[in-house]
C-alpha cells in the first residue's frame, strides 16, 4: 500500500490508488462528454510516480530528498492507454505541478524542462510499476475527440494547433482542479461549495428595477426602444451576440437581464461578467448586489479585492477564496486580464478555472478595449469557449468594431454571430455634445480656457502631462492618474462627485458661477470607463477615436445642457501612433465623429494597420506540430497590460502602515489588502526612486520609504520636496 497524503491533524493516510481514483472521478465529472474518458485516465495516472520507494520514504520519514514523480504518468500513458490523443495527457500530467511545459524537440534531454526532455530521462526513476496492480484505465473512443476538431471548422494547420492547445489547457484545468479539491478534502476536510445564485429570482428583481424607470422624455423612450430590441432576441441562438448600445442607454442592466434570460432558457450554470478595469469592478458589483440582494452570491475576481476586508463568516470566506481559484460560483465579475490569462497562462493556479467557463453566458463589457496586438488570441479564446464548451458570449460597447468580420478573419469562420441592436436610428438621441477639433494649442492656453466653464474635464495621454497641467491650474482643481494609489484616486473621485453635485444645487442653470466655484479636473484616460461623472465641458487630447468618445461620455452626461461641447486638441508632444493618425484623418473626413459610420471606419483602418502583428501573436506561429507547442514560452509572452509597469506600495493610513510594517518584518503580508495602496511607475522611474533611496524592495514588493516623494493630490513625485531653513 503506497501513501499519497497524510492528514497532519488526524494522521490518517490516503493511498495513491485512493487519491488517483478520486481525482479521476472528479476530473471526468467536470469534462464534457467527448473528453470524459481521456480525462478520467489522466487523473488515474497523474500520480503513479508516487509508487517510487523514494517518494514513500519522503512522505513517511520526512526525507528532504526531492523526488520527481509527475513525468512518470506522462511516460506511461501512451503505453497503458490506447489513444491517438495521448500527447494531450502527457502535457497535462507532466505539468500538473509546475505548469504546462513547452513541447520541445526530440533532441532535448533531461537538462531541458520541455516535455520531450522530461520524457527522455527514464533512468532517473525508481521502479513504480506497482500501479498496474491497482489502477485500471477505461477504454477511449478517439472518434468523439476527432469530432471536436471538425465542429470547430477550418482545415488549416494554425486552427488545428490552436484547437489542440485549447483542449490541452482545458484538460489540464479539469485535472488540476480535481487534484486540488481531492487533496484539500482529505488533508483539510474541506468540501468545495458553490457560491449559489438563483437566476429566476435575480431576473424577477432586475425586471422590477427596470419597470421603475419612467419613460416620458424622448431620451427615455429611445432607451426603452433600444433595450426592447435586445430583449426581443433572447430566443435567438448564437455563439456571440453583439450589443451595440450608446453611452447612457442602460447597457449594464440590459446586458445582465439578457444574460439571465439566456441562462434560464438554455440551462447555463454561470454568468461571467468581464470588465476592462480593476477600478470599476467595485462599482459594477455594488449595482448588481443592490438589485439582487440575497438572491445572488457574486464572486468578484480582481487583484485589488481582498476577502479579509469584508465582514463575512470565516467558513464562508474560505469558500470565497477557493472559488477565486476555480470560479465555482454562478455569477462572477472579473477583469479582461484575469479572464484571458486564465486561458493562456500555463500555471495551475491560472488555468484551474478554465473548465468552469463551460455552460456559461459571458458578457464582455467595453469589448472595444481588447488590445489590437492580442486581438487574435482573445477572439480565438472566445470562439473556442463558445464552440467547444457550450457557452455563449455577449460583446457590449458604445463603440462597436466590426466583430462579424474580425471574428471570422482572426478566429473561427464557423462562428454564429447575432446583432442584437439592428435599428440604430435612436442613437442620435444619446448624443449630448458636439465634437470640435481645435488643432494645436499651448498648455497655458488650454488651462486658461478651462476656467471659462463651470466644470471642465481635461484628459491627456500621459501622466507627466496631467501632472504638469494640474500644477499650472488654480482654483478648485483635482488630479487623477495611476501615479496615485487606488486609495487616493477613489477618495478624489468621491470629492469630485460631491463638488459637482453641490455646484448643480447652488447654480442650477450654471450661470454666474464665481471663479472659486469653477471645477477643473485634469486626468489621464483612466476616467474614461466606469467613472460616473458629469461635466459641462470636456477637453480631450487627440488619441484613438474610442478614447475620445469615452471621454465625451463624461460631458453633459445627464443631458441638462443644450449646447455642450467636447474639444479635441493637440499638444506639441501628442503621440503620432497609428490610432492618433487615423483619428486625425477621420476628423477631417467626418462632420460628426460620433456617427456610427465613422466608428466603423476607425476600427476598419486600425485593424488593417495591425493586421500583420495580429497574425503573428498566436501559439501556433512558427510551431510545426502539436508535440512542439510552446505552452510555457507563450504564457510568458502573453500579456494584456503593459509589462514594464511596476507597482509600488505607499503608506496612506493606519491599515496600510501595518501592512507594510508586516512586510518589512516578516517578508510577507496580505497582498490583496495592500493592492489598493499601490501606484504604478515604469521600470526606469522605479530605478530613479531606488537610486535616490526613496524606495526599497521587501519580500518581492517595492515600497516607498520616504513619503516626501508622495502627495495625496498627485501621487508619486520623483524629487523630494525642498525645505528652507
**Which segments within 626-711 are labelled E, that is strand?**
645-649, 678-682, 695-698, 701-704, 710-711
pLDDT for 305: 37
pLDDT digits (tens, 9 = 90+) for 224-264: 999 999 999 999 999 999 999 988 888 999 999 999 999 99
State residue 309's pLDDT score: 39
pLDDT digits (tens, 9 = 90+) for 101-140: 999 998 888 788 899 999 987 677 899 999 999 999 999 9
Cell 479539469 sits on residue: 174
Tens-place pLDDT, residues 316-325: 344 445 555 6
> 436 pLDDT band (50/70/90 cuts)?
very high
Q: Is the pLDDT of residue 426 over 70?
A: yes
Question: In this predicted model, what pLDDT tens digit does every residue of 304-356 receive, in sequence order?
Answer: 333 333 443 334 344 445 555 688 899 999 989 889 999 999 998 889 999 99
Local structure of 195: helix, strand or coil: strand
**This prediction's pTM:** 0.88
Residue with cell 470560479: 327
Domain boundaries, the chain: 3-188, 199-423, 432-593, 645-716
Task: Please give the class, per CATH, of domain 3-188.
Answer: mainly alpha
Question: From the centroid of its chain, how far is CA 669?
Answer: 24
CB 555 within 8 A of CB 566: yes
Euclidean distance between CA atoms 599 and 81, whole angstroms: 54
Helix (H, G, I), strand (E, B) or coil at 247: coil
- 218 touches 429 (CB < 8 A): yes
pLDDT tens, position by position, 140-194? 989 999 988 888 876 788 999 999 999 999 999 999 999 999 998 888 776 666 6
Q: Are 520 and 458 in contact (CB under 8 A)?
A: yes
> Are 66 and 202 within 8 A, CB to CB?
no
Determine the Cα–Cα distance for residues 290 and 260; give it in Å rounded to an integer: 16
- DSSP letter, residue 190: P
SS3 assignment for 694-710: CEEEECCEEEECCHHHE
696 pLDDT more than 50: yes
For the chain, the C-alpha Rg in angstroms (whole number) is: 28
Decide which of 3.40.50.11740, 2.10.10.90, 3.30.1490.20, 3.40.50.300 is the CATH code for 199-423: 3.40.50.300
Q: What is the pLDDT of residues 565-612, one digit of tens each?
A: 999 999 988 788 899 999 999 999 999 999 999 999 999 999 999 988
> Exposed (0-12), middle (13-18) or buried (19+): which is 676, by Cβ within 10 Å?
buried
Please check whether residue 26 is in contact with residue 45, taking contact to mean a CB–CB distance below 8 angstroms: no
And the C-alpha cell for 451? 476656467
pLDDT by residue (tens digit) across 552-569? 989 998 788 888 999 999
CATH of region 432-593? 3.40.50.300
Arithmetic mean of pLDDT, 193-216: 90
Helix (H) or strand (E) holding 614: helix 611-616
pLDDT in tens, 481-528: 999 998 999 899 999 999 999 999 999 988 899 999 999 999 999 888
Beta bridge partners, 724, equal none
pLDDT at position 58: 87
Sorting pLDDT into bands at 50, 70 and 90, what band is 722?
low
Domains 199-423 and 432-593 share a fold: yes
Paired with 274 in beta bridges are 334, 364
> How high is the mean pLDDT of the chain?
90
Amino acid at each position: 500500500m503506497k501513501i499519497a497524503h497524510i492528514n497532519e491533524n488526524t494522521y490518517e493516510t490516503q493511498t495513491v490508488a485512493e487519491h488517483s481514483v478520486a481525482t479521476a472521478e472528479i476530473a471526468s465529472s467536470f469534462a464534457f462528454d467527448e473528453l470524459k474518458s481521456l480525462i478520467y485516465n489522466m487523473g488515474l495516472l497523474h500520480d503513479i510516480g508516487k509508487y517510487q520507494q523514494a517518494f514513500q520514504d519522503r512522505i513517511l520519514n520526512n526525507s528532504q530528498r526531492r523526488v520527481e514523480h509527475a513525468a512518470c504518468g506522462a511516460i506511461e500513458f501512451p503505453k497503458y492507454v490506447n489513444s491517438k490523443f495521448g500527447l494531450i495527457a502527457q502535457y497535462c500530467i507532466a505539468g500538473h505541478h509546475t505548469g504546462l511545459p513547452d513541447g520541445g524537440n526530440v533532441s532535448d534531454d533531461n537538462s531541458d524542462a520541455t516535455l520531450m526532455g522530461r520524457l527522455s530521462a527514464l533512468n532517473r526513476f525508481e521502479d513504480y510499476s506497482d500501479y498496474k496492480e491497482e489502477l485500471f484505465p477505461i477504454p477511449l473512443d478517439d472518434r468523439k475527440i476527432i469530432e471536436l476538431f471538425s465542429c470547430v471548422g477550418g482545415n488549416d494547420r494554425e486552427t488545428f494547433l490552436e484547437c489542440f492547445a485549447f483542449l490541452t489547457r482545458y484538460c489540464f484545468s479539469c485535472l488540476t482542479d480535481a487534484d486540488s479539491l481531492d487533496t484539500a478534502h482529505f488533508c483539510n476536510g474541506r468540501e468545495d461549495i458553490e457560491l449559489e445564485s438563483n437566476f429566476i429570482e435575480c431576473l424577477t428583481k432586475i425586471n422590477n428595477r427596470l419597470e421603475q424607470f419612467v419613460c416620458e422624455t424622448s431620451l427615455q423612450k429611445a432607451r426603452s426602444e433600444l433595450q426592447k430590441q435586445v430583449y426581443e432576441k433572447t430566443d435567438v441562438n448564437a455563439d456571440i451576440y453583439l450589443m451595440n448600445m450608446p453611452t447612457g442607454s442602460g447597457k449594464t442592466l440590459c446586458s445582465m437581464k439578457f444574460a439571465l434570460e439566456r441562462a434560464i432558457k438554455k440551462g447555463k450554470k454561470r454568468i461571467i461578467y468581464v470588465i476592462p478595469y480593476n477600478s470599476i469592478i467595485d462599482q459594477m458589483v455594488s449595482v448588481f448586489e443592490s438589485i439582487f440582494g440575497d438572491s445572488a452570491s457574486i464572486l468578484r475576481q480582481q487583484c485589488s479585492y481582498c476577502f479579509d476586508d469584508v465582514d463575512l463568516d470565516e467558513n464562508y470566506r474560505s469558500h470565497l477564496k477557493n472559488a477565486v481559484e476555480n470560479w465555482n460560483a454562478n455569477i462572477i465579475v472579473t477583469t479582461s486580464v484575469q479572464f484571458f490569462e486564465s486561458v493562456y497562462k500555463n500555471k495551475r493556479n491560472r488555468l484551474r478555472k478554465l473548465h468552469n467557463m463551460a455552460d456559461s453566458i459571458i458578457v464582455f463589457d467595453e469589448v472595444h478595449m481588447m488590445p489590437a496586438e492580442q486581438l487574435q488570441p482573445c477572439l480565438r479564446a472566445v470562439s473556442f469557449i463558445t464552440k467547444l464548451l457550450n457557452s455563449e458570449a455577449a460583446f457590449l460597447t458604445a463603440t462597436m468594431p466590426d466583430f462579424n468580420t474580425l471574428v471570422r478573419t482572426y478566429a473561427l469562420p464557423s462562428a454564429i454571430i447575432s446583432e442584437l441592436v439592428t435599428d440604430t436610428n435612436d442613437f442620435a438621441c444619446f448624443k449630448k455634445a458636439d465634437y470640435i477639433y481645435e488643432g494645436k494649442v499651448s498648455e497655458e492656453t488650454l488651462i486658461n480656457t478651462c476656467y471659462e466653464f463651470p466644470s471642465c474635464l481635461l484628459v491627456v495621454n500621459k501622466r507627466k502631462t496631467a501632472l504638469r497641467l494640474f500644477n499650472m491650474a488654480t482654483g478648485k482643481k483635482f488630479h487623477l492618474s495611476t501615479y496615485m494609489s487606488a486609495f487616493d484616486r477613489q477618495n478624489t473621485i468621491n470629492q469630485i462627485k460631491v463638488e459637482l453635485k453641490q455646484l448643480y444645487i447652488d447654480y442650477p442653470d450654471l450661470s454666474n458661477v464665481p471663479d472659486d466655484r469653477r471645477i477643473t479636473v485634469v486626468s489621464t484616460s483612466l476616467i474614461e470607463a466606469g467613472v460616473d461623472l458629469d461635466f459641462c465641458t470636456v477637453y480631450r487630447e487627440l488619441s484613438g477615436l474610442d478614447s475620445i468618445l469615452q471621454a465625451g461620455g463624461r460631458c453633459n452626461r445627464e443631458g441638462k445642457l443644450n449646447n455642450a461641447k467636447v474639444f479635441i486638441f493637440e499638444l506639441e508632444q501628442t503621440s503620432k501612433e497609428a490610432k492618433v493618425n487615423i483619428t486625425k484623418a477621420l476628423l477631417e473626413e467626418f462632420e460628426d465623429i460620433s456617427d456610427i459610420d465613422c466608428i466603423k471606419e476607425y476600427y476598419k483602418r486600425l485593424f488593417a494597420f495591425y493586421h500583420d502583428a495580429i497574425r503573428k501573436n498566436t501559439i501556433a506561429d512558427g510551431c510545426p506540430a502539436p508535440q512542439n507547442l510552446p505552452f510555457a514560452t507563450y504564457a510568458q509572452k502573453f500579456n494584456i497590460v503593459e509589462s514594464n509597469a511596476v507597482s509600488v506600495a505607499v503608506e496612506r493610513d493606519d491599515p496600510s502602515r501595518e501592512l507594510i510594517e508586516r512586510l518589512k518584518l516578516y517578508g510577507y503580508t496580505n497582498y490583496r489588502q495592500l493592492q489598493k495602496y499601490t501606484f504604478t511607475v515604469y521600470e526606469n522611474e522605479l530605478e530613479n526612486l531606488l537610486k535616490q533611496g526613496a524606495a526599497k524592495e521587501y519580500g518581492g514588493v517595492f515600497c516607498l520609504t520616504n513619503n516626501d516623494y508622495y502627495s495625496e493630490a498627485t501621487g508619486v513625485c520623483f524629487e523630494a520636496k525642498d525645505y528652507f531653513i
